[in-house]
Amino acid sequence: MNVSIIGTGYVGTVTGACLAELGHDVICVDIDQQKVDWINAGIAPIHEPGLSELLKKHAEIRLRATTDYNDAIPNSDLTFICVGTPSGEDGRIDLSIVRSASKSIGEALSDKRSYHVVVVKSTVVPETTEKVVAPLVRGENVGIAMNPEFLREGKAVYDFMNPDKIVVGGDPRAVEMVARLYEGIPCEITRTDIRTAEMIKYANNSFLAAKISFANEIGNICKKLGIDVYDVMSAIGKDFRISEHFLNAGAGFGGSCFPKDVRALIGKAEELGYDPMLLNAVIEVNEEQPIRMVKLLVEHIGDLRNRRIAVLGLAFKNDTDDIRESRSIPVITELLNLGAQVSAYDPLAEPNMRKIFPEIDYCESALDALNGADACLIMTEWDEFRSLDKEFDAMKNLVVIDGRRVVSLDHGRGIYEGICW
């Protein structure tokens, strides 16, 4: 099938490369000329295992990119919308990019006579596809579908090719066309209406976020009782109704999806006159966890003015340079507010964090960050932190507050505290 893809970020590039691998002819559209040039040269615009290989294999053969909607849309049978849906000022979804992309698609479709399906893959709150996208792209021969994406950053190509679910909402003709695209992937297609497909994505992410906040809340209570929350979670995870995943208590969730998607669903619920108490609590617990890290630190070392605090880990999770909504951001903000000097280290995310905190001291290694520090906060579960040991001896005072349970330090060497254990 001939497919066009609007937006070549995480979702668009991975979708394009994987659909090319499945045998489809793909044209990607982005307003960013640099990304377009990279894709045409077979270079991945993002870090994702396996993506460069697919782009190299298919670029200029079954996959190309352009900035011109009129080059891409009329030459395809089906168009995916994969542009960003960030949080607005009030936390509600900002649909301006979706609107602008839909308008451009509508214009490019105006002279097309053959049947064309527009598929929303961006995460959008229920009713968006029908009320915002459809009126802008609707033509006599245009079908509309919604096909949310569940891939995980860092495993995006694998997840696209090995999904545990594929959800497609829309009228039967449009859904059938989308389903044909995925032939070759051994996964049942869940067929729904459009707003159900939209809600499945939000329910999915909100549930996972809720699991993390739940583990954190139980962890906060466990800590007061001297109970190891990891023993508790590992036992309850054996219950098949719960499952062992997403129960790691710690400094909270970040990233480009969970915080924004839970907030967007809260915004949509409020717009409908419903008070989403549980979703609000999921965010509240998550906001509180990084602040708890700093409170624990103050309990141990007191006034932070002019104290050197090592922050190990800046990315929102390991194996990425993505710092969006990273829990290290509120922690560093609080440390600076309290007058501390921050020495930070992350294997990948330093360039991104420099844009937010140009004033802190960035170090070449964990050892450099720890050298002479009054205390250390661990914010990301990087593997290389697991083997840290004698490096802590370089600190002025050995005080370590672990937000990710990555370090084990013998009692007697100094102070080691987990945020929830």
The residue range among 25-33, 52-60, 183-191, 330-338 that interacts with ligand NAD, by the rule CB under 6 A, is 25-33
φ and ψ of 170, to 5 deg: 150, -175
φ and ψ of 155, to 5 deg: -135, 25
What three-state secondary structure class fits 6?
strand
Residues 136-195 that bind ligand NAD (CB under 6 A): 149, 151, 153
d(CA 189, CA 416): 48
The residue range among 30-38, 278-286, 332-340, 371-379 that interacts with ligand NAD, by the rule CB under 6 A, is 30-38
The residue range among 2-10, 54-62, 172-180, 265-273 that interacts with ligand NAD, by the rule CB under 6 A, is 2-10
CB 28 within 8 A of CB 3: no
Q: Which listed residue (257, 363, 376, 420) is catalytic?
A: 257
**11 near ligand NAD, judged by CB under 6 A:** yes
- Residues with Cβ < 8 Å from 393, sequence gap 6 or more? none
Q: Annotate each residue in 108-147 with x if it binds ligand NAD (CB under 6 A) or - if it does not, as one string.
A: --------------xx------------------------
**29 near ligand NAD, judged by CB under 6 A:** yes
Identify the CA nearest to 5 among candidates 41, 36, 33, 34.
Answer: 36
Among 16, 42, 50, 84, binds ligand NAD (CB under 6 A): 84
CB of 360 to ligand NAD, least distance (A): 26
- Residues with Cβ < 8 Å from 212, sequence gap 6 or more? 246, 247, 248, 252, 253, 258, 286
Identify the CA nearest to 139 among candidates 106, 173, 175, 186.
Answer: 106
Matching residue, tokens 């002479």: 372
Among 4, 5, 10, 342, binds ligand NAD (CB under 6 A): 10
Among 25, 30, 346, 381, binds ligand NAD (CB under 6 A): 30
Known catalytic residue at 257: yes
CB 22 within 8 A of CB 187: no
The DSSP secondary-structure symbol of 87 reads B
Residue nearest ligand NAD by beta-carbon distance: 9
68 vs 383, beta carbon nearer ligand NAD: 68
Q: Which residues does the annotation mark as catalytic?
A: 257
Q: Which residues bind ligand NAD (CB under 6 A)?
A: 6-12, 29-32, 35, 82-85, 97, 100-101, 122-123, 149, 151, 153, 256-257
